Structure 1
Amino acid sequence: MSHDTIIANQSLHRFDGHDRIWLFGYGSLIWKADFSYIERRAARIHGWSRRFWQGSHDHRGTPESPGRVVTLVAEAGASCAGMAYLITPEVFDHLDHREKNGYLRETLAIEFKAGGHELGLVYIANPANAAFLGDASDADIARHIANAKGPSGLNRDYFRHLADALRELGEHDPHIEHIGQELQKITRVD
């Protein structure tokens, strides 16, 4: 699959006929809601872990030197905290463009922190996409993040915003915390 998933996402007809859809955000969608929404709620999904395994050729890196951003990886027993937004289908044109670098819309159950659940959508970059970087040590991921930048800014700013947003939600994500510890080591050396 190519980097650009806009056409693939536009061909998906999940939730056709619905005038409202829940969208789950687990990365920059937590803190950067640059789209219209009806409602916003803290939420989580089950069976998935957040990982810095996706390349960013268009926002936090370049085609020659991609940054690293988060995607979801299936993991039994895991859960991933984030933010859910109640949106209208018109928002997909913007979101499909924003998430075009390897992310596809998937359907899954969203559990709200305040109680209740709904079926909704999430953008996931799976290993079949051309921008997928995959697993690496926390130290290697931190070095990659520390050195990457793209049109949307420094990769380390993306990381910092995500870590801050998770703290504000009162959430503990060991993957993020371990990479943060490695980034602090790099910063002290720089």
Structure 2
Amino acid sequence: MSANTIEHNRKRYDFAGVESVWLFGYGSLIHKVDFPFLEQRPASIRGWERRFWQGSHDHRGTPESPGRVVTLIENPDAVCKGMAFRVSPKVFEHLDVREKNGYLRLSTRLTFDDGSHAEGLVYIATEDNEAFLGHAPDADIARQIASASGPSGPNAEYLLRLAESLRALGADCPHTFAIESHLKYAVKNDTQGR
């Protein structure tokens, strides 16, 4: 599948007669809220875990030196905590462009912190998109993130802001926090070596 998913996403759902939709954010949608929303609530989804396995050629890297950003990988035992936004369907005109690098809008069941549920949408970059990078050791992912930068800024900023946002949500994400530790260690050693 092409990395550019704008048209694919626009054909996936018919929002006719729909006034609002829940959207689940688990990556930059948590800390870079550049879209209007009607309501915002912490939530989680089951069966998925956050992983820095998606390449970023358009925001946090370049085609020559891609960054790494998060996607969700299926794991039946996992619970991924994030932020849910109730949005107007018009918001997807912007978000489909923002999330165009391999991400597809998929349906999901959200569980809010009070135990209530709702159906919603989530952007997931699946393994069959051209920008998918897949598994690598945490230290290697941190090195790639440390050296990547794109139109939206340094890839390290994305990682650090995500880790900070997850802590504020009370979300436990060992994968993100391990990569953050490797990044801080690499930056510290690089600074001391100069």
Letter paired with 1:53: W
* Aligned twin of 1:34: 34
* Aligned twin of 2:85: 85
Letter paired with 2:153: G
- Provide Cα deviations, 1:11-58, integer angstroms capped at 9, x if missing partner: 112554321100000000001111110000001000000000000010
CA pair 16-79 structure 1, distance change in 2 beyond 3 A: farther
Rounded Cα–Cα distance in structure 1 between residues aligned with 2:46 and 2:81: 9
Rounded Cα–Cα distance in structure 1 between residues aligned with 2:173 and 2:13: 33
* Aligned twin of 2:155: 155
Write the mapping of 1:31-180 to structure 2, written as runs, cut at 5 A: 31-180=31-180
Rounded Cα–Cα distance in structure 2 between residues aligned with 1:153 and 1:105: 25
The number of residue pairs the alignment matches comes to 190
Question: Is the partner of 2:133 in helix, strand or coil?
Answer: coil
Q: Which runs of 5+ in 1 are unaligned?
A: none
Rounded Cα–Cα distance in structure 1 between residues aligned with 2:27 and 2:13: 24
Rounded Cα–Cα distance in structure 2 between residues aligned with 1:47 and 1:97: 26
Runs of 4+ aligned residues of structure 1 deviating over 4 Å after TM superposition are none
TM-score when normalising by structure 1: 0.98
Question: Is the partner of 2:42 in helix, strand or coil?
Answer: strand
Letter paired with 2:103: Y
Percent same amino acid among aligned pairs? 57
Rounded Cα–Cα distance in structure 1 between residues aligned with 2:125 and 2:56: 11
- Provide Cα deviations, 1:121-177, integer angstroms capped at 9, x if missing partner: 000000000000000000110000010000000000000000000011111111011
TM-score when normalising by structure 2: 0.96
Q: Which runs of 5+ in 2 are unaligned?
A: none
Rounded Cα–Cα distance in structure 1 between residues aligned with 2:163 and 2:35: 22
CA pair 157-79 structure 1, distance change in 2 beyond 3 A: same
Question: Is the partner of 2:178 in helix, strand or coil?
Answer: helix
Rounded Cα–Cα distance in structure 2 between residues aligned with 1:94 and 1:34: 9
Question: Is the partner of 1:134 in helix, strand or coil?
Answer: coil
Deviates more, 1:98-107 or 1:110-119: 110-119
Rounded Cα–Cα distance in structure 2 between residues aligned with 1:18 and 1:77: 32
